[in-house]
């Protein structure tokens, strides 16, 4: 609990903190002899909504896991919220949503949330209040007491998102958060993400969807483990002379117009 009190003070002066939320310095990751990430240098600022865009197998998930501390880089270093990774405590200030839903299907949505909330040190009335609040956010309040095995794919995705928001993290790492979610709900989730960003929360998400990329503050294009471009959507379009992100992605990503 003392730990959490400390976090509060950090959070209150976060917006005018110039330090980057995430700093990657020459990060590489190899599986065996195969290099999956090549010397990634990237700084993501506090309060930024950053999108990682890249084709399947380009290394987005690998990069997000490195940032989340679930994996260690083969070379280079990761700084998270000013702390050098690995660092267990800083994980309490990060919300993580994996690409595949990590939920206990035997348990109800509420029991899942109660469990994860306890892992982040939430208890009692505050836990109840947070659970109600995130479930309202993802529009699952009426399914709170259903077992997760009876949830649809999109409902599970939303519950995963709710889990990552439970402890009011100052940094959100979302790996393809809107896959399998219908357009109406996706709209409302994006509205929420933008309002979280406006509250000063740093968000890093991966996506395949171009119109989502367009709404990010900045985008990192990743291709075969290399960060090929990092800029705002407008900047990318300007640099590539393209009118849409999709075209810019094709031009900047591989250097060829396929």
Ligand X SMILES: Nc1ncnc2c1ncn2[C@@H]1O[C@H](COP(=O)(O)OP(=O)(O)OP(=O)(O)O)[C@@H](O)[C@H]1O
Q: Give the Cβ contact number of residue 61 at 10 Å.
A: 19
Site residues (CB under 8 A) for another protein?
Answer: 68-72, 86-92, 94, 96, 98, 100-107, 111, 114-116, 118-121, 123, 147, 163
Kindly tell me which residue out of 99, 111, 141, 228 binds Mg ion, with binding defined by CB under 5 A.
Answer: 99
Shortest spacing between CB 34 and Mg ion, in angstroms: 16
Q: Which is nearer to Mg ion, 61 or 178 (CB)?
A: 61
20 CB neighbour count, 10 Å cutoff: 18
**59 or 233: whose CB is closer to Mg ion?**
59
Binding mask 53-72 for Mg ion (x = CB under 5 A): -------xx-----------
Site for ligand X in 74-103 (CB under 6 A): 99
Residue pair 147/108 in contact (Cβ under 8 Å)? The answer is yes
Enter the DSSP assignment of 108.
Answer: B
The reply to whether 61 sits near ligand X by the rule CB under 6 A is: yes
H-type alpha helices, the chain: 2-12, 60-67, 109-119, 124-137, 153-165, 183-198, 210-213, 233-240, 245-254
Contact 210, 249 (CB under 8 A): yes
Structural tokens at position 8: 């509060």
Shortest CB 8 distance to ligand X, Å: 34
Instruction: Pick from 4, 15, 41, 57 the residue near ligand X by CB under 6 A.
Output: 57
Query: Six-digit token pair at 234?
Result: 């407008």
Return the range that interacts with ligand X (CB under 6 A); candidates 58-66, 73-81, 124-132, 150-158: 58-66
Q: Which residues contact 133 (CB under 8 A, 6 or more apart)?
A: none
Q: Which is nearer to another protein, 69 or 177 (CB)?
A: 69
The Cα–Cα gap between 103 and 119 comes to 14
- Which CB atom, from 121 or from 154, has the smaller least distance to another protein? 121
Structure tokens at 114: 């109660």
Q: Give whichever of 6 and 57 is closer to ligand X, judged by the CB atom.
A: 57
- Is the CB of 131 or the CB of 221 nearer to another protein? 131
Q: Does 59 bind ligand X (CB under 6 A)?
A: yes
77 touches 87 (CB < 8 A): no
The site for ligand X (CB under 6 A) is made up of 31, 36, 54, 56-62, 99
The site for Mg ion (CB under 5 A) is made up of 60-61, 99
């Amino acid at each position: 609990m003392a730990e959490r009190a400390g976090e509060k003070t950090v959070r209150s002066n976060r917006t005018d903190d110039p330090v980057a939320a995430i700093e990657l310095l020459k990060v590489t990751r190899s599986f065996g002899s195969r290099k999956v990430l090549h010397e990634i240098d990237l700084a993501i600022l506090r309060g930024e909504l950053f999108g990682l865009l890249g084709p399947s197998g380009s290394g987005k998930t690998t990069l997000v896991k490195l940032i989340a501390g679930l994996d260690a880089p083969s070379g280079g270093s990761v700084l998270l919220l000013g702390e050098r990774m690995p660092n267990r405590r800083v994980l309490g200030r990060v919300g993580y949503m994996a690409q595949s839903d990590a939920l206990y299907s035997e348990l109800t949505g509420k029991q899942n949330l109660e469990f994860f909330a306890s892992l982040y040190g939430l208890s009692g009335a505050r836990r109840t209040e947070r659970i109600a609040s995130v479930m309202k956010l993802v529009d699952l309040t009426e399914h709170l007491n259903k077992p997760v095995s009876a949830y649809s794919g999109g409902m599970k995705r939303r519950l995963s998102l709710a889990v990552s928001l439970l402890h009011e993290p100052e940094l959100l790492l979302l790996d393809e958060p809107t896959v399998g979610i219908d357009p109406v709900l996706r709209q409302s989730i994006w509205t929420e993400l933008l309002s979280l960003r406006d509250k000063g929360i740093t968000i890093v998400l991966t996506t395949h969807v171009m119109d989502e990329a367009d709404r990010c503050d900045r985008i990192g294009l990743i291709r075969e483990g290399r960060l090929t471009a990092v800029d705002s959507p407008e900047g990318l379009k300007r640099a590539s002379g393209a009118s849409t992100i999709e075209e810019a992605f094709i031009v900047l990503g591989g250097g060829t117009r396929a």
